C-alpha cells in the first residue's frame, strides 16, 4: 500500500512522541531547565492527544516511563468527551486500567489527586478509581489497602472522597476517617501504626518511610534504627542508606540502577570492590539479555562519557549510568569475544568512567566502523562537538558510499530529551534514533527505532502498536 505524505508525517509525529515519553521526566537536564522540559512535554502531549488520540492511548502499552504514563492517563480521563464512540472509550478504559495496575501506588494517587483538583468526576473516572481501589483491597496482606492507608494516607483518603465510595475494607475506612472508633485493628500494619505512637517496638513492623518519622519522634539513634528496620527495607531503600545502614544487595538489583550505584562510588571504592561490582554488572546484564545472549554477532558501541553525561542536580550522572549499563548489556548480547567499546573520552576501563571532556563522537564512530561490525550502537545525548557535525557526516558517507547495502546496522539511542526540539537529538537522518530511559529496554527500542528511518509509514507503525497493545492486554494468541 502506498503511503501518502500525511501518513509519513503522522508516523514521524508518533515516533517523536514515543521518544519523548521514554526519556522525558519534566526534570532539569544538562542543557535545559525543568520549566523548559515541562513546557515542551505538555505541548507534545496535547498535540498528539488531539491529532492522534488512538495512538496516544496505545502508548500506554509501550515501554514509556511512569511520569508520562501518568500524564496520559490523566489527560485521557480529563478529555473523555473527545474519545469517540463506545468502542474507543472501552479500549481506552482497558489500557488505563492495565497501566494503572503497573504504576507504583504513589504515582496512581498522584493522578487521582490531579483529577480531583481539576474536578474531573465523570462516570468512567469513578469506575476506574473504584476498580483500582478494589484491586488493592483484593491483594490483602502487606501490599494492599492496609499498606496504602499507612504509607499513602492522604492520597487514599482523597481518592475515596473523590468517588464518594466506601472503601472495600471497613477497617481501612475507620483508620482513615474514624480513627477513634476502634481500640485495636485486626490488620497488623494498621495496629502497628496505632501502637507506634506510644510503643517503640511497634514501629519496626511499619514500612521504612513511615517508621522513620516515628523513630525521630521517639529519639532513636539513626544507626540503631537502621539496623533493626533492615528486614523491612526495600532494595532501593537499602541503596539510599548504604553509607550509614546495612549493605545493599547487588545480586538482584536492576542493571541501570546498579550502574547508577557504581557511578556514585568514589574511584578508590570502585577499585577496591572491582571484582564484586564488575561481577554484579555482568550478572545483571546476562539476566536482561536472557535467551538473546550471544546472538547479536559482532557488536561495536560508541559510549558518551563527556561532560554532559553528568546530567543535572536531579538526574545526577543518569546519561552516563545508561551508557555504562548498555555497555555491559551489549557485551552480553554480542557473540563471545566479538564486542568492542569506544568511550568518547578514550577510556578503556569501564568501571572507572566519569563524565568529563568534549564529545568527539565522529572520531569514535570512525574507530568503531573500522572493523565493519554487524551492529553499531551509539549511546549519546547527540551533542557532537569535537568537531561539530563530524558524526553525522561520517554516518552519511558510510551509509551512502561505503555501506549502501547496510551490512552494518547502526542505531543511536539517546537518554536525554531535547526540550527545544521536542524530541531526542539525532546524529544523522540516515540513522534511526530512539529515546532510552533504562538499558533494560534496549532490545525493544532497537526494534522500534527501525520505524524511525523514514521508510515506514503509519500503517506499519499502527500494526506494530496494535500487536503491542494486544500483548499488553493479554489478547494475543
Report pLDDT digits (tens) over 289-300. Answer: 999 999 999 999
pLDDT value of residue 233: 86
Residue whose C-alpha cell reads 540516515 in the numeric block:
430
Residue 379 has pLDDT above 90, yes or no: yes
Alpha carbon separation from 453 to 2, 23, 410, 426 (Å, rounded): 17, 19, 11, 11
- Res 464 pLDDT > 90: no
Q: What is the pLDDT of residue 477?
A: 37
- Grouping H, G, I as helix, E, B as strand and the rest as coil, residue 299 is strand
Using CA atoms, how far apart are residues 258 and 282, in angstroms rounded to an integer?
11
Taking residues 113-119, report their average pLDDT. 93
Alpha-carbon span 332 to 348, nearest angstrom: 18
| pLDDT, position 3 | 55
User: What does the alpha-carbon distance between residue 133 and residue 457 come to, in Å, rounded to a whole number?
Assistant: 40
DSSP letters for 324-373 = HHHHHHHHHHSPTT-EEEEETT----GGG----S---HHHHHHHHHTT--
- Chain center to CA of 52: 23
Using a pLDDT cut of 90, give the percent of the chain over it. 58
Q: Peptide bond preceding 153: is omega within 30 degrees of 0, i.e. cis?
A: no
Q: What angle do CA 424, 384, 36 make, to 5 degrees?
A: 40
Residue-wise burial string across 57-77, b where 16 or more C-beta atoms lie within 10 A, e elsewhere? bbbbbbbbbbbbbbbbbbbbb
Sign of the Cα torsion 17, 22, 24, 30 reads negative
Answer for the pair 418, 424: CB distance below 8 angstroms, yes or no. Answer: yes
Mean pLDDT of the chain: 88
> Where in the chain do CATH 3.40.50 domains reside?
273-455
Predicted confidence (pLDDT) per residue in 42-93, tens digit: 999 999 999 999 999 999 998 899 999 999 999 999 998 888 888 889 999 9
Q: What's the average model confidence in pLDDT over 17-36?
A: 89
Report the distance separating Cα 228 and Cα 385, nearest Å.
51
Residue 30 has pLDDT above 50, yes or no: yes
What separation in angstroms does the CA of 208 have from each of 113, 147, 150? Answer: 24, 12, 11
The predicted model gives 141-151 an average pLDDT of 82
Most confident of 9-13, 148-152, 230-234: 148-152
Kindly state the percentage of the chain with pLDDT values over 70. Answer: 92
Please check the confidence at residue 165 and state whether its pLDDT lies above 90.
no
Q: Measuring CA to CA, which residue among 236, 248, 260, 299 is closest to residue 440?
A: 260
Give the pLDDT band of residue 466 (cuts 50, 70, 90).
confident
According to DSSP, the β-strands at 375-379 and 409-414 are: parallel
* pLDDT, tens only, 234-272: 877 877 776 544 456 687 789 999 999 999 999 999 999
Query: Is residue 453 predicted with pLDDT exceeding 70?
Result: no
First-residue to last-residue Cα distance in the chain: 26
Q: Please answer whether residues 452 and 432 qualify as being in contact, where contact means their C-beta atoms are separated by less than 8 angstroms.
A: yes
Q: Is the pLDDT of residue 191 over 60?
A: yes
The residue with cell 504514563 is: 69
- State residue 338's pLDDT score: 96
Write b or e for each residue in 343-373: b if 16 or more Cβ atoms lie within 10 A of its Cβ, otherwise e.
bbbebeebbebbbebebbbbbbbbebbeeeb
Cell digits of residue 372: 565493519
Q: Sort 244 into a burial class: Cβ within 10 Å, 0-12 / 13-18 / 19+.
A: exposed
Q: What whole-number distance in Å separates Cα of residue 410 and Cα of residue 408?
A: 6
* Res 461: pLDDT: 75
Instruction: Provide the angle, in degrees to the nearest 10, between the axes of the packed helices 442-449 and 318-333.
Output: 90
Of all residues in the chain, what percent are helix, strand and coil, respectively (each to 5)?
60, 5, 30
What number does CATH give the domain 273-455? 3.40.50
> What is the reported pLDDT for 245?
44
**Cα angle 155-237-256, degrees, rounded to a multiple of 5:** 105
Amino acid at each position: 500500500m502506498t503511503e501518502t505524505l500525511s501518513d509519513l508525517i503522522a508516523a514521524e509525529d508518533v515516533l517523536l512522541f514515543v521518544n519523548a515519553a521514554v526519556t522525558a521526566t519534566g526534570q532539569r537536564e544538562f542543557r535545559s531547565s525543568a520549566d523548559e522540559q515541562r513546557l515542551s512535554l505538555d505541548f507534545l502531549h496535547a498535540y498528539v492527544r488531539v491529532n492522534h488520540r488512538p495512538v496516544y492511548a496505545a502508548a500506554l502499552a509501550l515501554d514509556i516511563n511512569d511520569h508520562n504514563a501518568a500524564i496520559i492517563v490523566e489527560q485521557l480521563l480529563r478529555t473523555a468527551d473527545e474519545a469517540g464512540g463506545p468502542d474507543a472509550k472501552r479500549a481506552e478504559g482497558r489500557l488505563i486500567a492495565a497501566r494503572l495496575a503497573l504504576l507504583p501506588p504513589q504515582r496512581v494517587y498522584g493522578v487521582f489527586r490531579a483529577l480531583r483538583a481539576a474536578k474531573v468526576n465523570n462516570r468512567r473516572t469513578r469506575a476506574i478509581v473504584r476498580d483500582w481501589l478494589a484491586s488493592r483491597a483484593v491483594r490483602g496482606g502487606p501490599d494492599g489497602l492496609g499498606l496504602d492507608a499507612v504509607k499513602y494516607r492522604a492520597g487514599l483518603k482523597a481518592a475515596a472522597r473523590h468517588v464518594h465510595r466506601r472503601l472495600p475494607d471497613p477497617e481501612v475506612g475507620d483508620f482513615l476517617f474514624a480513627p477513634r472508633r476502634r481500640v485495636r485493628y485486626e490488620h497488623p500494619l494498621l495496629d502497628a501504626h496505632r501502637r507506634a505512637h506510644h510503643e517503640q517496638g511497634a514501629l519496626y513492623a511499619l514500612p521504612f518511610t513511615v517508621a522513620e518519622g516515628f523513630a525521630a519522634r521517639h529519639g532513636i539513634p539513626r544507626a540503631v534504627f537502621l539496623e533493626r528496620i533492615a528486614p523491612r527495607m526495600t532494595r532501593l531503600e537499602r541503596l539510599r542508606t548504604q553509607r550509614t545502614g546495612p549493605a545493599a544487595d547487588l545480586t538482584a538489583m536492576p542493571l541501570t540502577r546498579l550502574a547508577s550505584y557504581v557511578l556514585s562510588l568514589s574511584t578508590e571504592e570502585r577499585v577496591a570492590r572491582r571484582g564484586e561490582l564488575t561481577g554484579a554488572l555482568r550478572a545483571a546484564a546476562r539476566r536482561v539479555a536472557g535467551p538473546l545472549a550471544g546472538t547479536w554477532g559482532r557488536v561495536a558501541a560508541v559510549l558518551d562519557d563527556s561532560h554532559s553525561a553528568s546530567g543535572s542536580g536531579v538526574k545526577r550522572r543518569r546519561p552516563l549510568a545508561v551508557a555504562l549499563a548498555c555497555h555491559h548489556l551489549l557485551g552480553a548480547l554480542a557473540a563471545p569475544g566479538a564486542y568492542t567499546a569506544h568511550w568518547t573520552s578514550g577510556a578503556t576501563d569501564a568501571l572507572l568512567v566519569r563524565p568529563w571532556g568534549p564529545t568527539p563522537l565522529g572520531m569514535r564512530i570512525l574507530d568503531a566502523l573500522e572493523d565493519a561490525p554487524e551492529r553499531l550502537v551509539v549511546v549519546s545525548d547527540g551533542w557532537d562537538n569535537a568537531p561539530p557535525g563530524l558524526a553525522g557526516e561520517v554516518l552519511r558517507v558510510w551509509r551512502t558510499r561505503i555501506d549502501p547495502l547496510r551490512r552494518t546496522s547502526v542505531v543511536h539511542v539517546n537518554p536525554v530529551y531535547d526540550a527545544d526540539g521536542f524530541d531526542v537529538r539525532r546524529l544523522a537522518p540516515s540513522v534511526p534514533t530512539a529515546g532510552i530511559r533504562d538499558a533494560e529496554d534496549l532490545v525493544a527500542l532497537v526494534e522500534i527505532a527501525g520505524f524511525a528511518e523514514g521508510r515506514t509509514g503509519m500503517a506499519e507503525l499502527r500494526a506494530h502498536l496494535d500487536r503491542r497493545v494486544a500483548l499488553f492486554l493479554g489478547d494475543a494468541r
